[in-house]
Homo-oligomer: A and B are copies of this chain.
Amino acid sequence: MENFRDYREFTGSRSDKFYKSTMFQSSRLLLGLNCLDPGQEQHVHVHGDQDKFYYVVEGTGEFTVGAERYAAETGIVVWAPAGVEHGVTNKGSERLVLLVGIAS
């Protein structure tokens, strides 16, 4: 099955930083997971010419996007357009699993 992936097979954990995996990739779109253990953080950063989204699959993430801050639970879509600073921290007690897409 080339065009079907179960996200549960792409989750993971690292002790030194949050875990990233790639599920699919083309010249237009990178699609993968960011997995943050409790206490882990993706520092606020910016993509100059890529739009990014996160979909919260498991857990709760404390997101920053531009001037907005929001604790996003399962079912929330987060949009970080090109040029807008964004980051996320897992302040909860469960792992945070995010489906992430970056469009170039």
**A contact residues vs B (CB 8 Å cutoff):** 1-8, 23-24, 26, 28-29, 31, 50-51, 53, 55, 57, 63, 65-66, 68, 70, 72, 75-82, 84, 99, 101, 103-104
CB atoms of A103 and B28 under 8 A apart: yes
A1–B31 Cα gap in the complex (Å)?
A: 24
CB atoms of A28 and B51 under 8 A apart: yes
Besides A3-B66, A31-B77, A53-B101, 17 other A-B contacts (C-beta < 8 A): A1-B70, A2-B66, A3-B65, A3-B81, A4-B65, A4-B68, A5-B77, A5-B79, A8-B75, A23-B77, A26-B51, A26-B81, A28-B104, A29-B51, A29-B101, A31-B53, A31-B101
Which of B2, B29, B63 contacts A53, CB < 8 Å?
Answer: B29
Closest partner residue, chain B, to A30 (CB atom): B103
CB atoms of B3 and A78 under 8 A apart: yes
